[in-house]
C-alpha cells in the first residue's frame, strides 16, 4: 500500500467511477460537502489551486491518499495512477518493467512536472494536457440516468482526442454562456453544470475540426483502448512497426522508405487531419523529419517519441491496436534479422542461420530460393548475409548479363557513395541486381553507407552555408524553420560544427558581465600543477601508469570544471596536448621498464615472463616483436634463445 497514511482522514470522500479523473472525484466531493472549494483543495492536497489536478499527470497524489477515509481504494496511490490518470496511455508502448517503474515514480511524487518532462509530453505534436476538462454531452445524460451523477472521463482528456470514442460526438469543454471549465467562481464544477438556470449549453472543444472526422474517431477509440490497457505485449515498438512496413513492401532492402511510409499515412488519415494534429508528413515536398527518423534503425536509444506518432504509423499498417497486438503475438517466435556487426566479435545467430550458411555453400539455388526453403523473407536473408560478411557469388548468368566492366564500375560508384538511384539510371540495372553486386564483395555495403553519410553531411553543410550567406544574422531558430531537414541532421550528427557556424547569442550576452572568478589566475596555477603531475607520472624508476588527459585532470581536481568549459583553461589545454601520452607511447614505456627490471635481475627476455612483469597481454607483445627486440638491445638485455623473440 502506498500513501504515507499520516494525518486525520477526511470524513467523506466519494467512490471513484471507472476511468474517472482525479479532478472529477474532487468536484463530486465538493458538491457533496459544505466546504468552500479552496478549503477542500487545501484539506486534500495542501494547496488551494486546482491547476495541478488538470495537468497531463496530476500531482499531490500521496497527499490525497493520506487524507481519504480508511478502506477507500485511493489509500493506495498506485490504484489512482493506473485507473484514474492518463499515464497508461503515455507509457503504453514502453516495456513492462519501464511501465511499472513509471507507476511507482508518479505514485510517490508530490509533483508530476519532472515526469512530464522525462516522458516528453512538452514535445508532443498535440497538446498533452487539457487545461479545460472535456466531456461528452451524450455520456453525461446516460451517466445521470444509470449512476445518478456525471463525471469527467480520462478517455476524453488524451492528446488529439476531440470526439467521444463511444458516441462519436464532438467533446465539449464548458458552457457557451459561462465559458470553459473550470468556470470562474466554480473551481470544482461537475460536467454539465454551470451558472445558467437551464443547464449548460455545450461549448465545443474545437472550432476548426477537419471535415473528415472518421480518423479522429479512430484515434479516440485507440486512445481509449490504450489508457484502459496494461500496455503492449510488443517488446520493441519501433522494430515491430519497421518489420510490418517492410512486410508491406514499404522499404528499400532492410530500411523503411520514408516516402512510402508518408504516403501510407496520408492515404489513411488525410493531409488535413495530419496537419491539424500537428504531425504533417511532408516538409517542402520531402518526408518530414519525424517520419524519417521514427522507425530508423538505432533510434531506440534516442529521446522518447509521442504515442500519437506511433498511432499514426500503426493506423497506416493495421485496422486497430487489437489487430496489431494479435499480429505481434503471432510473430513473437519468428526469428528476425539483426543489424550489421560493429565489431569482429562472434554475434548470436537466429536458428535458421546455420541452414542459410549451408545452402549458400552448396550454391544450388539463389537467394529467393533459399529464403523460400528456410521460410523467412528475402530481406532478412540479405541482412543476415551482410551482418556476417558472407560472400554470395554472382551467378554466371547475372555476370554475363551485366558485364564485368559494368560490374567493376558499379562497385567503384558504390565505394564513392553515389546514390543507388543514380547508379541504376546510369547503368540501366535494377535494384535487385545492385543488391547482388553488393553481396559479391563483403563490406561493400558498409563502404557505401559510410561514403553516403559523408556525402550527406557535406551536402547539409553546404546548404547551411548558402543560407547563412544570404542571411548572415540568422539564428538557430531561423534555420530550424527554414531548413528543418538540414537542422535535424546537423543537430543530431554534426552538432559541434553547427554550433560553431551559429554561436548562441544568449551565451555572448551572459559573457559581457564581469567575471566573478579569476579564471586567468586559476588557469596559471592549474597549468603548473598539471605539469608537475605529468613529471611525477612520467618519472623513471616506478612502474609506468599511462599519463592520459583524464587521469591528470582528476589528480589535479580539475576534471569537472575543465570539461564544463575548457576555453577557460587555455594554458592547461596547451600542457595537456603537449604531454598527454598516447597508448603506443605508454606501451613502449611499459615494455622498456619491464625489460630493465628483468635485465637488472639477470633474467633472459621471454614472452611469458615479459607479459607478467609488464602487465601486457601476450598478443600485444607478439604484434610488437621488433619494438621489444630493439628495446632489449638498447638495454643490453639477454633474450632467451628458445623464446618467440629469439
**pLDDT above 60: residue 351:** yes
Whether 42 is covered by a domain: the verdict is yes
- Cα(67)–Cα(40) distance, integer angstroms: 11
The pLDDT value given to residue 427: 87
Give the model's confidence band at 300: pLDDT under 50 very low, under 70 low, under 90 confident, else very high: low
pLDDT in tens, 213-231: 899 999 999 999 999 988 8
Q: Which residues pair with 451 in a beta bridge?
A: none
pLDDT in tens, 246-262: 888 888 777 888 999 99
Tell me: do 575 and 592 sit in the same domain: no
Whether 250 is covered by a domain: the verdict is yes
**pLDDT above 90: residue 391:** no
Tell me: do 613 and 484 sit in the same domain: no
Q: Which residues pair with 20 in a beta bridge?
A: 153
The pLDDT value given to residue 445: 82
DSSP label of 450: H
pLDDT in tens, 571-599: 988 888 888 888 888 888 888 888 888 88
Q: Where are the alpha helices (DSSP H) in 388-443?
A: 396-402, 404-416, 420-427, 431-439
pLDDT, the chain, mean? 83
The pLDDT value given to residue 92: 93
The pLDDT value given to residue 227: 92
**Chosen domain end from 493, 510, 527:** 510
The pLDDT value given to residue 331: 53
Tell me: do 168 and 254 sit in the same domain: no
pLDDT in tens, 458-505: 888 999 999 999 988 888 888 888 888 788 888 888 888 988 888 866
Whether 126 is covered by a domain: the verdict is yes
Tell me: do 46 and 180 sit in the same domain: yes
The pLDDT value given to residue 85: 92
Give the model's confidence band at 330: pLDDT under 50 very low, under 70 low, under 90 confident, else very high: low
Tell me: do 124 and 210 sit in the same domain: yes
Tell me: do 495 and 547 sit in the same domain: no
Whether 556 is covered by a domain: the verdict is yes
Q: In the chain, pLDDT over 90 holds for what percent of residues?
A: 17
Whether 345 is covered by a domain: the verdict is no
Instruction: Give residues with Cβ within 8 angstroms of 217, minimum separation 6.
Output: 163, 165, 168
- Cα(452)–Cα(306) distance, integer angstroms: 30
* Helix then strand then coil, % of the chain, to nearest 5: 55, 5, 40
The number of domains in the chain is: 5
**Chosen domain end from 228, 251, 282:** 228
pLDDT in tens, 94-126: 988 889 999 999 998 888 888 788 887 877 787
415 neighbors 451 (Cβ within 8 angstroms): yes
Whether 243 is covered by a domain: the verdict is yes
Residue with more model confidence, 341 or 578: 578
Sign of torsion over alpha carbons 57, 315, 384, 257: negative
Tell me: do 479 and 494 sit in the same domain: yes
- Cα(467)–Cα(19) distance, integer angstroms: 52
- Nine cell digits for residue 295: 522507425
Is the bond preceding residue 182 a cis peptide, omega within 30 degrees? yes
**pLDDT above 80: residue 183:** yes
Whether 436 is covered by a domain: the verdict is no
Tell me: do 3 and 98 sit in the same domain: yes
Q: Where are the alpha helices (DSSP H) in 296-335?
A: 307-317, 321-330
- Nine cell digits for residue 404: 564485368
Tell me: do 24 and 129 sit in the same domain: yes
Tell me: do 119 and 258 sit in the same domain: no
Q: What is the pTM of this model?
A: 0.56
Instruction: Give residues with Cβ within 8 angstroms of 221, minimum separation 6.
Output: 165, 320
The pLDDT value given to residue 343: 35
Domain that residue 539 falls in: 519-581
**Chosen domain end from 283, 306, 330:** 330
Tell me: do 218 and 100 sit in the same domain: yes
Residue with more model confidence, 54 or 265: 265
- Cα(107)–Cα(61) distance, integer angstroms: 7
- Cα(128)–Cα(157) distance, integer angstroms: 9
The pLDDT value given to residue 314: 93
- Cα(428)–Cα(328) distance, integer angstroms: 39
**pLDDT above 50: residue 337:** no
Whether 394 is covered by a domain: the verdict is no
**pLDDT above 90: residue 136:** yes
Tell me: do 87 and 137 sit in the same domain: yes
The pLDDT value given to residue 514: 56
**Residue 407 Cα distances to 101, 160, 383, 640, angstroms:** 55, 52, 22, 54
Amino acid at each position: 500500500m502506498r500513501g504515507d497514511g499520516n494525518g486525520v482522514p477526511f470524513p467523506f470522500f466519494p467512490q471513484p467511477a471507472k476511468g474517472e479523473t482525479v479532478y472529477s472525484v474532487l468536484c463530486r466531493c465538493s458538491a457533496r460537502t459544505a466546504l468552500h472549494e479552496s478549503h477542500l483543495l487545501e484539506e486534500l492536497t495542501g494547496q488551494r489551486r486546482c491547476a495541478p489536478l488538470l495537468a497531463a499527470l496530476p500531482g499531490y497524489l500521496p497527499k490525497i491518499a493520506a487524507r481519504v477515509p480508511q478502506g477507500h481504494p485511493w489509500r493506495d496511490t498506485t490504484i489512482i495512477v493506473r485507473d484514474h490518470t492518463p499515464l497508461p496511455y503515455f507509457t503504453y508502448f514502453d516495456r513492462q518493467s519501464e511501465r511499472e517503474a513509471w507507476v511507482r515514480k508518479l505514485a510517490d511524487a508530490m509533483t508530476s512536472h519532472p515526469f512530464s518532462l522525462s516522458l516528453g509530453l512538452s514535445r508532443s505534436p498535440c497538446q498533452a494536457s487539457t487545461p479545460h476538462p472535456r466531456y461528452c454531452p451524450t455520456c453525461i445524460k446516460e451517466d445521470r440516468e444509470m449512476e445518478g451523477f456525471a463525471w469527467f472521463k480520462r478517455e476524453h482528456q488524451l492528446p488529439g482526442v476531440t470526439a467521444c470514442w463511444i458516441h462519436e460526438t464532438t467533446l465539449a469543454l464548458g458552457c457557451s454562456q459561462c465559458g470553459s471549465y473550470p468556470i470562474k467562481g466554480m473551481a470544482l464544477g461537475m460536467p454539465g453544470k454551470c451558472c445558467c438556470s437551464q443547464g449548460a449549453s455545450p461549448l465545443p472543444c474545437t472550432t476548426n475540426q477537419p471535415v473528415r472526422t472518421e480518423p479522429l474517431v479512430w484515434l479516440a477509440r485507440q486512445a481509449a483502448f490504450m489508457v484502459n490497457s496494461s500496455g503492449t505485449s510488443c517488446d520493441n515498438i519501433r522494430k515491430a512497426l519497421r518489420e510490418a512496413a517492410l512486410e508491406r513492401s514499404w522499404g528499400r532492402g532492410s530500411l523503411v522508405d520514408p516516402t512510402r511510409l508518408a504516403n501510407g499515412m496520408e492515404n489513411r488519415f488525410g493531409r488535413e487531419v495530419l496537419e491539424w494534429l500537428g504531425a504533417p508528413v511532408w516538409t517542402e515536398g520531402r518526408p518530414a523529419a519525424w517520419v524519417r527518423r521514427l522507425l530508423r534503425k538505432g533510434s531506440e536509444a534516442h529521446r522518447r517519441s509521442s504515442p500519437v506518432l506511433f498511432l499514426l504509423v500503426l493506423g497506416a499498417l493495421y485496422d486497430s491496436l487489437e489487430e496489431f497486438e494479435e499480429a505481434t503475438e503471432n510473430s513473437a517466435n519468428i526469428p528476425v534479422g539483426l543489424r550489421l556487426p560493429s565489431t569482429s566479435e562472434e554475434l548470436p545467430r537466429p536458428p535458421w542461420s546455420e541452414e542459410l550458411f549451408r545452402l549458400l555453400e552448396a550454391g544450388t539455388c539463389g537467394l529467393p530460393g533459399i529464403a523460400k526453403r528456410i521460410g523467412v523473407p528475402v530481406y532478412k536473408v540479405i541482412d543476415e548475409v551482410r551482418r556476417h560478411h558472407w560472400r554470395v557469388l554472382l551467378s554466371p548468368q547475372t555476370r554475363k548479363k551485366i558485364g564485368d566492366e559494368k560490374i567493376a564500375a558499379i562497385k567503384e560508384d558504390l565505394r564513392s557513395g553515389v546514390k543507388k538511384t543514380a547508379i541504376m539510371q546510369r547503368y540501366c540495372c535494377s535494384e535487385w541486381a545492385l543488391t547482388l553486386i553488393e553481396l559479391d564483395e563483403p563490406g561493400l555495403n558498409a563502404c557505401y553507407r559510410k561514403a553516403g553519410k559523408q556525402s550527406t553531411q557535406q551536402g547539409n553543410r553546404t546548404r547551411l552555408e548558402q543560407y547563412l550567406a544570404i542571411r548572415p544574422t540568422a539564428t538557430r531558430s531561423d534555420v530550424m524553420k527554414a531548413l528543418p531537414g538540414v537542422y535535424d541532421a546537423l543537430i543530431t550528427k554534426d552538432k559541434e560544427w553547427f554550433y560553431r557556424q551559429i554561436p548562441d547569442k544568449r551565451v555572448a550576452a551572459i559573457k559581457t558581465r564581469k567575471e566573478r572568478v579569476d579564471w586567468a589566475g586559476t588557469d596559471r596555477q592549474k597549468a603548473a600543477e598539471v605539469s608537475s603531475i605529468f613529471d611525477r607520472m612520467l618519472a623513471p624508476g616506478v612502474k609506468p601508469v599511462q599519463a592520459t588527459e583524464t587521469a591528470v585532470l582528476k589528480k589535479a581536481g580539475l576534471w569537472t570544471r575543465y570539461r564544463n568549459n575548457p576555453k577557460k583553461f587555455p594554458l592547461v589545454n596547451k600542457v595537456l596536448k603537449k604531454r598527454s601520452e598516447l597508448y603506443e607511447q605508454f606501451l613502449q614505456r611499459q615494455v622498456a621498464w619491464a625489460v630493465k627490471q628483468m635485465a637488472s635481475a639477470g633474467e633472459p627476455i621471454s614472452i611469458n615472463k615479459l607479459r607478467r612483469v609488464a602487465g601486457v597481454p601476450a598478443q600485444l607483445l607478439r604484434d610488437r616483436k621488433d619494438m621489444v627486440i630493439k628495446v632489449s638491445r638498447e638495454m643490453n638485455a639477454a633474450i632467451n634463445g628458445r623464446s618467440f623473440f629469439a
